[in-house]
Amino acid sequence: MKTKDIKPKDRLIFALDVPEIGKAKELVKQLDDNVTFYKIGMELLMTGQYFQLMDWLIAQDKKVFVDLKFFDVPETVGRTISRLSDYGATFATIHGNQALMEKAAENKGDLKILAVTALTSLDRGDLDDLGFKCDVQDLVISRAKRAFEAGCDGVVSSGLEVPFLREFVDNKLIAVTPGIRPVANDDDQKRVVDVATAFKSGSDYIVVGRPIKNAINPYQAASEIQEIIKTCF
């Protein structure tokens, strides 16, 4: 499988899942040159300073992943993505049907659109509760195929399903894998893999939050992950 032209250091995306802008900036400064790519999600949106933080990150020469999982009628999502494309972010997530994905892709500009397949906090029992009667693997493959056909650039997928994406979907599809746990975990993420497994399975990027944020030394934790990434390529 041909490897995409991605700088190794950019393959680690740190999830800035903190309640305040000040704490977010403090972490960015602490991680310094060890992290070049940041995911900002719904918690920071509630601060009212989301776009100021995005501008600040880009001014620090960082890449930004807007993880707001846009889900609405297709026209609304299309217009939203069109406006967002002016801000300079690298990735943005959407979560919806074929028409929604197509409208997002039509309006993306230079922004890369990632379709969510199945959240890594969901397992087979959760999908039953939601009314999905298929396997998680089958659901992820189906959604990834449809996303690629709709013109999306990639998907967000557990590392457990990425090998099957690589088997059934064009390798041009970007695979971003959240729920990375360097060690065994007992939190709300259920379908997880470690760093090396994610990349060996075919992931292009990994999203890491708590293992770095909650470390005694976040800089060192990020550095250790970057060292593992170097051995994978």
**Residue 93's domain spans which residues?**
8-231
| 3 located within any domain | no
Q: What is the pLDDT of residues 78-124, one digit of tens each?
A: 999 999 999 999 999 999 889 999 999 999 999 999 998 865 554 55
Q: What is the pLDDT of residue 132?
A: 58
Provide the number of structural domains found in the chain: 1
Q: Residue 2: how many CB atoms within 10 A of its CB?
A: 6
Q: Which of 63, 72, 126, 145 does the annotation list as catalytic?
A: 72
Q: Which of 9, 62, 63, 69 does the annotation list as catalytic?
A: 69
Question: Which CATH number is 87's domain given?
Answer: 3.20.20.70
Q: Residue-wise over 157-177: b if at least 16 C-beta within 10 A, else e? A: bbbbbbbbbbeebeeebbbbb
Q: In the chain, which ranges are continuous DSSP H helix? A: 21-31, 42-45, 50-59, 74-84, 98-106, 124-130, 136-150, 162-168, 195-200, 210-213, 218-231
Q: With 50 as the cut, is the pLDDT of residue 186 above it?
A: no
112 among known catalytic residues: no
| 94 located within any domain | yes
Binding-site annotation, residues:
17, 39, 120, 181, 189, 209-210
Mean pLDDT of 15-34: 97
67 among known catalytic residues: yes
Q: Which of 67, 153, 194, 204 does the annotation list as catalytic?
A: 67
Q: With 50 as the cut, is the pLDDT of residue 154 above it?
A: yes
Binding-site annotation, residues for substrate:
17, 39, 120, 181, 189, 209-210
Can you give the pTM of this predicted structure? 0.90
145 among known catalytic residues: no
Q: What is the pLDDT of residue 117?
A: 80
Mean pLDDT of 168-182: 88
Q: What is the pLDDT of residue 217?
A: 96
| 39 located within any domain | yes
Q: What is the pLDDT of residue 4?
A: 82
